[in-house]
Amino acid sequence: MPDLQNVIELIYHDIIKHKNYGEVASYIPELAAVDSEKLGVCLTTVDGQVFHVGDWQDRFSIQSIVKVLLLSLAYNKLGGQLWQRVGVEPSGTAFNSLGTLENDEGIPRNPFSNAGAIVISDILIDLYEDPRQAMIDMIRSVSGDPSIYFDTKVAASEKAEGFRNVALANFIKSLGNINNGVDDVLNLYFDCCSIAVNCEQLAKVFLFFANNGQTPDMNNVLLNPSQTKRMNAIMLTCGFYDEAGDFAYKVGLPGKSGVGGGIVAVLPKHFSIAVWSPRLNEKGNSYRGLKFLEKFTTETKLSIF
């Protein structure tokens, strides 16, 4: 194993020397106020080592990264029945696209599009008495950090401007793939997207995907090994919307991005790595985050390929 602390520091200092392209997610007003030059990295290994650099302790909005955790809660309860409501195919379309839903009879192509996550949120309302609490409890438990919280300002900002998601939810409801009230489903979805984390917390949350579905201390079993394999496969093929193929090609790790500027990726049996930089490229993924992870797997030769 290479000297990971030295590697991430070298890549960090190389990246911050160059121009930072992209824009913050200004369509969510609370995210528009974030310092766009921030860059933080934290890598945690399954044997308990932690490596970090930059703004790794700064909190940011988890946004679409939470879709992986929403899916895990549903998959844990339903198993393969889940795939009757949502597919596992790369969409090739933007994260908020309505385009394929009518032809697909309201079944989203995959659970990491906004449409897919909205359907998963509906499923969680049926499965849990309080899915909002189940989500935050799970994140706090697997990270070992009870301080993680819902950012109510971000949630309110999304609810005030989330017209596209309102359209998606109503469209899916009209096609028969949402059981509960649209407002209830969207409130759960927006609240979960608002969760505030830092790179260390996020890397620790995702470590169970590198460890056959359980936290390294064995205190939390979230998924069985077969489910974990499938979740990692969906992250690899669908975690970056219409840039998923590019991420697999350049980085070669299962992962997920969010418009808060976060990216998390895992190398099964080895580590989880979280990178945060708020400026997004035209596909809605962190510009510097992608650059960092591409350089990291190139330098270390640590990928699934």
21 is in an annotated binding site: no
158 is in an annotated binding site: yes
List the catalytic residues. Answer: 64, 67, 189, 241, 259
64 is in an annotated binding site: yes
The CB-side HSE value for 254 (13 A sphere, CA atoms) comes to 22
303 is in an annotated binding site: no
pTM (two decimals): 0.96
The pLDDT value given to residue 161: 86
Cα–Cα distance measured from residue 264 to residue 43, given in angstroms and rounded to the nearest whole number: 10
Average pLDDT, 10 consecutive residues per value, the chain (305 residues): 94 97 89 94 97 98 98 97 96 73 90 96 98 98 96 94 93 97 98 98 98 90 97 97 94 97 98 98 96 98 97
**Are 149 and 198 in contact, with CB atoms under 8 Å apart?**
no
Report the candidate in 47, 27, 23 with the shortest Cα–Cα distance to residue 36. 23
Domain 4-300: CATH superfamily, name plus number: DD-peptidase/beta-lactamase superfamily (3.40.710.10)
Residue 219, CA distances (Å) to 79, 144, 260, 267 in order: 21, 10, 30, 21
Helix (H, G, I), strand (E, B) or coil at 29: helix
The pLDDT value given to residue 30: 86
pLDDT in tens, 98-112: 778 888 899 999 999
Position 139: which residue type? I
The pLDDT value given to residue 219: 83
165 is in an annotated binding site: yes
The pLDDT value given to residue 218: 80
The pLDDT value given to residue 252: 98
For residue 216, what are its two tokens? 């390294």
